[in-house]
Amino acid sequence: MRIAQVLTVGALSLAMVSTASAERRPGLGGKYAARNMTAAQGSLLIIAGPTTTQLLGGGVGPLGTDGGFGYATRPDIDLGPLGTLEQDPIVTAGIGAAYGITPELEVGLVLPLLLSGGGDGADTLNTAHVFATYAKDMGKFDVGVRVTGNIAIVDGLDNGVTIGIPFLTKVGMNGRLDAGVFVPLNFGEDPATGDSEIGKALNIPIRYGHSITPKIFLGVETGLYLPEIKTDAGRVPFSIFGGYTLLAGGNVVDLGLSFGLPSAIYLGDNGPGATDTIQLQVGTNVQMAF
């Protein structure tokens, strides 16, 4: 009995020390709504799940998926007189890391993996995403600049860069609104002429998350995506997400899940239906303090 009491007291003491360690470091708070835009100084964030601010507006998969394992259905292709071409679902995995150099500056790397659904000869790793974020903490409001370099790994793909202005607004004690304006630039060639051209897209994500308890958080995400800035063939995505936070030895562990419709509203003509593409994302993000 005495041994059990000692173990119980020791476990509770360790949990209290872990919580205190996580809360003392700015941006490394255990509560989802209390965190800053960038990784805390001297901490390493392992990205293997959804809901991170680092991938907001960037995405790592064919459909703009977040970190972690993803599953997405795809609409069939109408071939007219030839019938309909059925497309297999896509299975992806986004894995990466971010390191907080200063309280304002972080750098990171994300590798999007295509596990299945890419067709014959598809490569598991097509591109690598290297990013840097500088964000100023102004209390209830954070604003920053994020630059992401999209580096092609295989032949036939184009390099690119995404330039964005993310911002974060703390809503009360338990809410947070993450949003931003991002312009993905793609450096490729005109298929008709072979001349170099720069593709310009526009992504305006809006995400609201709420800490129901210090460990449980829920939220919704929407926004606007235009594959070309001067086109009306855009889409309005919609998703819901949730997570559970654990503290382990001063590290913050998020178990996350998101479910969404990437084309909940299609702004062009003859586009996919709202439920033609359904996306599920699941995984774990770990903030490690050093």
What digits encode the pLDDT tens for the residues 56-111?
A: 876 544 456 679 999 999 887 777 777 778 888 999 999 999 999 999 999 999 99
In angstroms, the first-to-last Cα distance of the chain is 36
Q: Which helix (H) or strand (E) holds 2?
A: helix 2-24
Max mean pLDDT among 28-37, 70-79, 197-206 falls in: 197-206
Label residues 37-59 b or e (16+ Cβ within 10 Å = b): bbbbbebbbbbbbbbbbbbbbbb
The residues, any chain, with a CB within 8 Å of residue 30's CB and separated by 6 or more, are 19, 22, 23, 214, 215, 245, 247, 252
* Residue 112, beta-bridge partner list: 94
DSSP string, 118-152: S-TT--SB-EEEEEEEEEEE-SSEEEEEEEEEEEE
* pLDDT the model gives residue 169: 96
Reply yes or no on whether the pLDDT at 254 is more than 60: yes
Distance (Å, rounded) from C-alpha 210 to C-alpha 219?
Answer: 6
* pLDDT the model gives residue 21: 40
* Residue 143, beta-bridge partner list: 136, 167
Query: At which residue do the structure tokens 């490394």 appear?
Result: 28
Q: Tell me which of 70-84, 129-143, 175-189, 234-248 is least confident.
A: 70-84
What type of residue is 285? Answer: N
The pairing of strands 127-137 and 141-152 is antiparallel
Reply yes or no on whether the pLDDT at 197 is more than 50: yes
What type of residue is 125? Answer: L
> Which class for 193: exposed (0-12), middle (13-18), buried (19 or more C-beta within 10 A)?
exposed
* pLDDT the model gives residue 1: 42
Distance (Å, rounded) from C-alpha 269 to C-alpha 285?
Answer: 38
* pLDDT the model gives residue 191: 65
3 in helix, strand or coil?
helix
**Phi, psi torsion values for 186, nearest 5 degrees:** -115, 125
